[in-house]
Amino acid sequence: EPEVTQTPSHQVTQMGQEVILRCVPISNHLYFYWYRQILGQKVEFLVSFYNNEISEKSEIFDDQFSVERPDGSNFTLKIRSTKLEDSAMYFCASSEGQGVGYTFGSGTRLTVV
C-alpha cells in the first residue's frame, strides 16, 4: 500500500538553528500538507500546498516557516531559527483531492534544546 515517508523520524536541534523536515508524498497525490502536534495536544494544521504554491495556511505558519517542493518527489518544511516551543511531532500528509483520503506519514519528532 502506498505510504507517505518522512525523514528523519527524530531530530534534535539547538535553539536558533534552522531545520528542514523532509517528506515524500504518495506519487499520484496532488495536495500536500504539514501538521503539528505538540506533545499531548491535538493535531494542528500548518499549511497546504498545491501546484507549487501554498493554497492555505494557519496562523501558526508565520514567517519562521516555509515549504518547498524542490523536485518531483520531495516536500519539505523549513523552520528558521527554531524556538523551544517548536518542539513537537510534525506530520506530513498528502491527498488526491478535496476530502479524499488524507494519508499521513509516521511523523518527525522535533526536539529543540
Partner 1 sequence: AQKVTQAQTEISVVEKEDVTLDCVYETRDTTYYLFWYKQPPSGELVFLIRRNSFDEQNEISGRYSWNFQKSTSSFNFTITASQVVDSAVYFCALSGNQAGTALIFGKGTTLSVSS
Per-residue mark of binding to partner 1, 82-101 (x: CB under 8 A): -------x-x-x---xxxxx
The closest of 82, 92, 90 to 108, measured between CA atoms, is 90
Q: How far is CA 105 from the centre of its chain?
A: 9
Q: What are phi and psi of 106, to 5 degrees?
A: -85, 0
Q: Which of 19, 21, 23, 35 binds partner 1 (CB under 8 A)?
A: 35
Binding site for partner 1 (CB under 8 A): 31, 33, 35, 41-45, 48-50, 55-56, 58, 89, 91, 93, 97-104, 106-107, 109
